[in-house]
Structure 1
Amino acid sequence: MSTEYWNESGPSKTFGNPLELSWLEPLGSEAAVLDYGCGYGRLVGELRAAGFADVEGVDISAALIERARREHPGARFTVLAEPPRLDRDDASVDAVLLFAVLTCIPDDEAQRGVLDEIRRVLKPGGLLYLSDYCLQDDERNVARYREHETRFGVHGVFETSDGAVCRHHEREWLRGLLSGFEVLRERDVPVTTMNGNPAVATQFLARRD
């Protein structure tokens, strides 16, 4: 999905994938945590409120980062200048959040690139908390998967009414992206999408080898 879309439409959206803080409790409050694709900083705010002291949010959208800085003064936010590249040393981060980011990246190789960069910056034994959309089974989504499959060539890729190209995934595809990680937890949770529709998000907590 283009940076232009997120700069123009992103700041008006509400993101709803829930954060299960208990999954991160073993890290301790001094852990270095990175929210990749932080949007307007919702999760950074939750982590700081929970006592995490070293938290940074990064995003491709300058407009979303501007909103994040307004809503969470004192928190650290950075615009990704050359995504997926992070301005972090190898093995320097204790945990990465990746919430509803892959849905915004329809291309296989681009998704792999994000996961490769996350592996690079995570310490051995570091945690990746991934939340995203598997294929939905409701009539509305099934119809639009079918409608857009010929256009995009991937089942689950579609265009929303406001011009966002999104992807819902085969569960095994997401599991495959976690090669090099040990999946510790997995759950499905009800959510409301950025356009106000009900959906189910799949969440994984995985540990880097």
Structure 2
Amino acid sequence: MSAPDDQSAYWNSTGTTKTFGHPLNPAWTARIDRDAAVLDYGCGYGRLAGELAALGFTDVEGVDVAPELIARARAEQPGARFAVLADPPGLDRPDGGYDAAFLFAVLTCVPDDAAQRALVAELHRVLRPGALLHVSDYGLQPDERNRERYRRCEARYGRFGVFETSDGAVCRHHTRDWLDGLFAAFDPVDEREIPVVTMNGRPAVATQLLFARR
């Protein structure tokens, strides 16, 4: 059974109360010109887009599937532009229209294989050659609590690493082989692993990857 790839109902209700905290890497962000056209895909309530605007980026656009989150983003982050994705993952942008993109804790919210591939393919389309893609997401976590829910949900969703949260979301943690294959059309530039806190307040390790659009 395939995991659901449309969770807009969750993100327009329970998801509007969440706090996201994956941090920017200052050294990676410094590689981008401040007047570059920057995309924050799956921007949620606009935290990351607001941080980029505060750093002096003048052309930041955030997009998300959830109108309620976009409404919050527009109210809280006036330094960036925001839009609702009408037909995800499709973007209203010509080929090569962005100079950089951020994909922070988004793949974890798109548990289906085909949906992840379509999202990454769309990012590849809208990024110009040489543009940087900043990714922050979750690999498989080693603790027993996570391992138990991976095992419990594997038969239902057909993928070890997909799980259900206690408040109704279906999420995914990833093997490194999967991430490497997913971004095979990009050139790897740098990577790191860092401690983060999940949207439900749990400690976790995030994998951050920097790619260049080939």
Q: TM-score, normalised by structure 1?
A: 0.98
Structure 2 residue matching 1:69: 3-state secondary structure: helix
User: 1:200 is matched with which residue: 191, 194, 205?
Assistant: 205
1:124-157 CA-partner distances (Å, limit 9, x unpaired): 0001101110000011101111111111110000
Report the CA distance between 1:26 and its aligned residue: 2.0
Residue 12 of structure 2 corresponds to residue 11 of structure 1: no
**Structure 1, unaligned stretches of length 5 or more?**
none
Instruction: Give the Å deviation of 1:180.
Output: 1.4
SS in structure 1 of the partner of residue 100 of structure 2: strand
What secondary structure does 1:127 align onto?
Answer: strand
- The superposition leaves residues 12-49 of structure 1 with CA deviations (integer Å, 9 ceiling, x where unpaired) of 00011111132021221111100000000001111011
Match of 2:135 in 1: 130
Q: How far did 1:62 drift?
A: 0.3
Residue identity opposite 2:204 in structure 1: A
**Cα distance in structure 2, aligned partners of 1:104 and 1:74:** 26
Alignment of 1:54-69 (within 5 A): 54-69=59-74
The total of aligned residue pairs comes to: 209
8 Å CA contact 2:59–2:80 kept in 1: the answer is no
Write the letter of the residue equivalent to 2:119: V
Amino acid at match of 2:210: L
Q: Secondary structure at the match of 1:26?
A: coil
Q: What residue in structure 2 maps to residue 118 of structure 1?
A: 123
TM-score, scaled to structure 2? 0.96
Asked if the contact 2:162/2:172 (under 8 Å) is kept, the reply is yes
| Separation in 1, partners of 2:164, 2:211 | 30
Name 2:77's counterpart in structure 1.
72
Shift, 1:74, TM fit: 4.2
1:94-113 residue pairs with structure 2 within 5 A?
Answer: 94-113=99-118
Superposition pairs of residues 31-50 of structure 1, within 5 angstroms: 31-50=36-55
Matched position secondary structure for 1:143: helix
**Aligned AA (2:148):** A
Residues in 1 aligned to 2:117 and 2:147: alpha-carbon distance in whole angstroms: 25
CA distance in 1, matches of 2:59, 2:78: 15
The residue that corresponds to 2:187 in the other structure is 182
SS in 2 for 1:57: strand
Residue-by-residue CA offset, 1:94-130 (whole Å, 9 max, x unaligned): 1110011111111111000000000000000001101
**1:63-106, Cα deviation, whole Å (9 max, x unpaired):** 00011011112420000000000010101101110011111111
The two structures, once aligned, show a CA RMSD in angstroms of 0.8
Q: Does structure 1 residue 92 correspond to structure 2 residue 59?
A: no
Where does residue 168 of structure 1 map in the other structure? 173
Q: Any runs of at least 4 consecutive aligned residues in structure 1 with deviations exceeding 2 A, and if so which? A: none
Identity of aligned residues (%): 62
Does the CA-based 8 Å contact 2:53-2:79 persist in structure 1? no
